[in-house]
Amino acid sequence: MTKINHVVLSGGTHGNELNGMFLIKKFQQYTNLIQRPGFSTHILIGNPKAVALGIRYVDQDLNRSFERESLENSTLINYEDLRARTIDQMFGPNGTTPSDVIVDLHSTTANMGLTLIVDSEEPFVLQLAAYLNSIQPLLKVFSAAHAGRSRDSLRSLARFGFCIEVGPIAQGILHAELFQKTEALIHLILDYLKQYNHNQFLLPTRSLIVYRYMAAIDYPRNEFGEIQAMIHPQRQFKDYEPLHPGEPMFLTFDGETINYEGNTIVYPIFINEAAYYEKGIAMYLTQKEQIAV
Ligand SMILES: [Zn+2]
CA of 199 to the centre of ligand 1 (A): 33
CA of 200 to the centre of ligand 1 (A): 33
CA of 17 to the centre of ligand 1 (A): 6
Nearest to 133 by CA among 110, 164, 107, 160: 164
Going by pLDDT thresholds of 50, 70 and 90, the confidence category of residue 206 is: confident
Q: Tell me the domains of the chain and their CATH numbers.
A: 6-203 (3.40.630.10), 215-284 (2.20.25.160)
Amino acid symbol at 205: T
Amino acid symbol at 207: S
CA of 14 to the centre of ligand 1 (A): 5
CA of 185 to the centre of ligand 1 (A): 17
For residue range 13-70, list pLDDT tens digits in order: 999 999 999 999 999 999 999 999 999 999 999 999 999 999 999 999 999 999 999 9
- The phi and psi torsions of 53 (rounded to 5 degrees) equal -90, -10
CA of 155 to the centre of ligand 1 (A): 12
For residue range 102-161, list pLDDT tens digits in order: 999 999 999 999 999 999 999 999 999 999 999 999 999 999 998 877 789 999 999 999
pTM score over 0.75: yes
CA of 20 to the centre of ligand 1 (A): 9
Cβ-based burial of 173 (10 A; exposed 0-12, middle 13-18, buried ≥19): exposed
For residue range 254-266, list pLDDT tens digits in order: 999 999 999 999 9
